[in-house]
A and B are shown apart, each in its own frame.
Chain A
Amino acid sequence: MKGKNTSQYKPSFYNLVIPLNEEKFILFNTLRNVVAKIDRETKEALETCSLERLDNEIITRMKETGIIVSKNLNELDYLKYLRMLHLMHIGSSPRVGVTLVMTYACNLACPYCYEGNKKTKEGLLTSKKIETILTFTKNHAQGDKKPLVHISFYGGEPLLNWKGCKYALKRLEEMKDNGEIQDYSTGFVTNGVLINEDVINAINEYNVYSMQITLDGPRDVHDKRRVKVNGEGTFDEIIENIKLLKNEVNNEKFHLGLRINVDKTNYKRIPELLDFLKSEGLNDLLISYGIVRNNIPYCSDCDALVFLGRDLPEYLPFLWKEAYKRGFKINTRPNIKLGYCVYDRPFGYVIDPELKVYPCWEMVGDDKYCIGRIKENGEFESEPLYYTTKSRNPLDFEECKSCKLLPICMGGCAAESIRRNGHPNGPGCDINKYIWKEGLKFYLMKRYPHLFKDEELKETLGMLPRGNNNILEFKLQRSGNTNGSENT
């Protein structure tokens, strides 16, 4: 039976469509995070707002999944409501996210580092200063509710101040045991050169849940980009340390991520790196490709070297494929996010060795972005800019309000907005703007290969997907109708 009483509904503004073939399409609703398969007839009914052409059963399911919504619903208000819930959740738990710039110093001198000459800044986060910061985090308690604390160890190179890192870990554990905080988690962003048994022991002993290490290509490429201050390469040391982590870490919650920074000068060589890692039995890592951007200090002519947004659909799927077919994990699915990053996150702080507070990793050390400082007694002294940064709201940006990708981008990067717009309160669109279609399709091909032809799978993934657990799971879901979906 065709749809009746459809006049009170409209297609969601956040519906996006990718062709599967001439007659079949993937429908992705960014607001509800729903993925569906539709045919041309359904697609046209949605695109022309001719809902009366749809079967009643389909209309019911589209209502359930937010593909069609009440004509009276302002979906932007709905997104505002979700974001409000999200912010309330952070505030009421309360959740405190602190990035500690353990030192600005770095043992490497990578040419593309966006910290530039900040690395010559002196100072360490000493035990005394860390104690001050921990008092500050502890002070976020809401009545009886003690804070949940996440610490990211960052730099410079954080392991140059290992003494400080270890002190922080030990004290966080004590604070948890004493009931001063609910719990804590930590992660490291490190170049991987200084990892040793002491670091491994700390990972096993404390709540260290993540570590990101960077490799930029096979040995000769990496050793030109990730160089020590004296010009020496670092590839072999880092590989040994990754093996050390793999073999000796027994903390089940720990995840090692491999960051590969790519631009036009090194992307063709990445498959060689992946081959090498595979040959060393290191192809079970989660890979993320970092897109080197033209925000490098002292580089006025980098456009020819870096990938611009419009370049990404051409290059990034190639890199995904090369990783996937060698067994690496790679995450490409665009997902709803209600906050973009630490910049506008309540209780999110980046704190440097002078106890100055910055809103974002990219802005550390730049006084014009300082949003406050931690006083010796652990109190926070804010600058007026603090309130400007923490109230950044992409749902107020005109360009974002009319963007179907807003739920999966959430306004993007404030630093990118400064580069583009001259101020942070505008769109700083992330890579999803350019690559969401390819990313979603790549993900679907891995997880639901039955939706695609074998030739297409081989071309995009480089192989037929491994295993069929997901297909089985999908079939079980369908037979149990947990998704409320089946072919009509």
Chain B
Amino acid sequence: MRFQLIVLMFLSANAFSASDKEMDELFRKYDSVMIGHKVELIDEVFTRKFLESAGGKKEFSEGVKELPKSPLKTLAAPKISWKKGLKDELWLAKRAESSDKKNGKDVPSGNQFIIVKENGKLKIDGTMSDAE
């Protein structure tokens, strides 16, 4: 009985935790979609709710294809910093890279990614601006 309880606690702790490895894997796939245009991975990267709010999977895929495409082999590993949300089972992640060039200077987007677990896997559920 005690053993079962320990196993149950271990399993439930894992269900609500995330590791650097999982986060790296998510953002590698994310880059594959956004930079490599591998839109077949969209369901593995984004939650259903995200895709609905982005106008649906088809519209989002078409939007992704408008972004500049790079060969995936040349991509550096994404630099991600992330933390667990204080209240809910979610994680807030930020890319170290800046997004766009403006007047020759980098302008950080200032966005955070909201990550949740869907069917046991980390997925991007939305973004949020950098209030502080």
Say whether A associates with B. no
